[in-house]
Amino acid sequence: MSIRENFEQLLEESVKVHGHLCPGQVLGVRMAIYGLEKIGIEDPRGADRKKIYLFVEIDRCATDALQSVTGCSLGKRTMRFMDYGKMAATFVNLETGKAVRVVALEEAREKSGEYFPDIENKYQRQLEAYKVMPDGELFTSQDVKVNIPPEDMPGRPLSRVMCDGCGEYVQDMREVRINGSIYCRACREGGYYKIEDDALCK
C-alpha cells in the first residue's frame, strides 16, 4: 500500500499525536504525503527513516501532522523549525539530495466551499474539503537547494563547550566566540528568559 493510499490511517495517527481532528491536521497529512512523494520517499518511518530531513516554517496544527507522518522530530534532529510564520515545509531526501518546498495555498480556504457548500461551519467545511481536493488546489511546490551543515545533522554532538559566562554547556557549535572567550547565545545576545539573580550571564 502506498503512503497516499494509507491516508485515513495516517490521519488517525496524526490526530492521536495532536489531540483532535482539525483542518490543519488534514492539510498537514496531505502536505506530508505530497512532499514525500515529490522527493521519492515511500516509507518515512521505516526503511527510508534515515533518508529524510524536514524544515517546517510554522508552529501550528499542521506541524504535528507533518511530524506524525514523516517521523521527523526535533529530538531526532531530523526536523528544523524555521520561524517564518508560513504554512510551508521543505522535504529533503538526504540520500539523493532532492529537496522540495511545499506551500499551502491560501485560496484553498475559500475553494473548500465549492466542495461542500452545504456545510455552514467553515472549519468543518475546510476539514472535509481538504480530504478530497486535488493536490494542485491545496499546494504549490518548488525544487530547492538546501545546505544542511554537519552540526545540524542527526547523530552525536560534534562539539560540547562550556560557556564562560554562565558555566552551562553548549552543543553543536551554537556558542559565540569573542576574543578567545566562549559564550552561550543567551549570555552574549540575550535569551528568551531573564534570570532573576542577575549575577549570572554578565
Tell whether 132 is covered by a domain. yes
What's the domain count of the chain? Answer: 2
Measured between alpha carbons, how far is 100 from 108 in angstroms, rounded to an integer?
20
Q: pLDDT of 13-34, one tens digit each?
A: 998 989 999 999 999 999 999 9
Can you give the pLDDT at residue 6?
85
Segments forming the whole domain that contains residue 11: 7-149
Based on the domain organization, do 111 and 165 belong to the same domain?
A: no
Tell whether 73 is covered by a domain. yes
pTM of the model: 0.89
DSSP 151: G
Measured between alpha carbons, how far is 129 from 150 in angstroms, rounded to an integer?
41
Indicate the pairing of strand 181-183 with strand 52-56: unpaired
Residue 141 half-sphere exposure toward CB, CA atoms < 13 A? 20
CA triple 75-155-40, angle to 5 deg: 80
Residue tagged 566562549 (cell numbers)? 182
Tell whether 1 is covered by a domain. no
Q: pLDDT of 101-160, one tens digit each?
A: 999 999 999 899 899 999 889 899 999 999 999 999 999 999 999 999 999 999 999 999
Closest CA to 102 of 151, 36, 154, 163: 36
Indicate the pairing of strand 169-171 with strand 160-162: antiparallel
3 state DSSP class of 50: coil
> Domain end: 104, 125, 149, which one?
149
